[in-house]
Amino acid sequence: MKVVECVPNISDGRNPEVYNAVAEAAAAVAGVELLDVDPGVETNRTVITFVGEPEAVLEGAFQLVKKSYELIDMRTHQGAHGRQGATDVCPFVPVGGVTMDDCVELANRLGERVGEELGVPVFLYEYAATRPERRSLADIRQGEYEALADKLKTEEFAPDYGPADFVPSFGAMVAGARKFLVAYNVDLNVTDKRWANRVAFDVREKGRTVKGVQQPGMLKAVRGVGWFIPEYGCAQVSMNLVDLDVTPVHAAFDACDESARNRGIRVTGSELVGLIPKQSMLDAGVHYLTRMNRSPGVPEADVVHAAVRSLGLNEVSDFDP
């Protein structure tokens, strides 16, 4: 059986009637299984996860984008998370019986259809990128929605699909193919996002620029920024772990903990946005059990419990494995 995962991020996390309707537009397609809908109030963004066979997932993705086009108006959007479109990003992930090239084809087909039928600009990223400078989502999204009108007038920002026109109500969409990505936030015992940014710059691969010189961070395959989430009452290091084989979730947590302690602050817990592969939780559980000189040869549920407790995944919201 061929299985593809699709993880669209839409620019609404405050209106359940909106983000649930957008998610249901995908779920209504035969062969699509909706796995998770994870809204964020302060980020004003919802991460939606669904799976199925390639053709079903492709149709589900288009129906989701179409519904977001109908229900979300970017002209009034405000939120802590970077964004430039109603459906901001729509990646395809190979799960079983499909290759990354298959997912690249799906991204191209979605981009072409969205561009033609909805008349909005579409850009391709990660493994579907048509040029090196478009591999990174952050690079494509630079300046966010507010910069789109001017960027679309330039030759270097011509979309891969759709017209090079600014559509005020929708913005632009980025589609692509990628490996499993984990959106992971580490909580700090401070409310000033400047502290969170300092920790993020310490750990993320890009690091920071000091006197014109780029100083890389502690971890590979990690992108990160700091922000403050009023609903949680704390600042967070917000990270995308883009290759779990290179940097697993427990390594990201430990690096943030080390950086925070060196700066006189503390990590108090963490938060997963969307889904994470079970193996990543098992790896984290084994890591922390081993550090405690306890045997990791216990039932899987106990290993996962050790990971949940060690990573503090229940601090800001309930975490149900």
247/179 Cα distance (integer angstroms): 13
Q: Which of 35, 34, 31 is nearest to 56 (CA)?
A: 31
Q: Are 58 and 23 in contact (CB under 8 A)?
A: no
171/231 Cα distance (integer angstroms): 27
106/282 Cα distance (integer angstroms): 31
Cβ-based neighbours of 31, under 8 Å, separated by 6 or more: 52, 53, 55, 56, 57
298/206 Cα distance (integer angstroms): 38
The partner residues of 93 in beta bridges, in order of sequence, read 5
Q: What is the DSSP string of 127-152?
A: TT-SSGGGSSHHHHTTTHHHHHHHHT
Tokens found for residue 298: 């216990």
Q: Read off φ and ψ for residue 195, nearest 5 degrees.
A: -65, -40
42/232 Cα distance (integer angstroms): 9
CA angle, 122 as apex, 117 and 126 as ends, to 5°? 135
Which is catalytic among the residues 81, 250, 287, 305?
A: 81
Q: Read off φ and ψ for residue 190, nearest 5 degrees.
A: -135, 165
**77 in catalytic set:** no
247/303 Cα distance (integer angstroms): 19
The partner residues of 173 in beta bridges, in order of sequence, read 122
The residue written with tokens 């359940």 in the block is: 16
Return the active site residues: 81
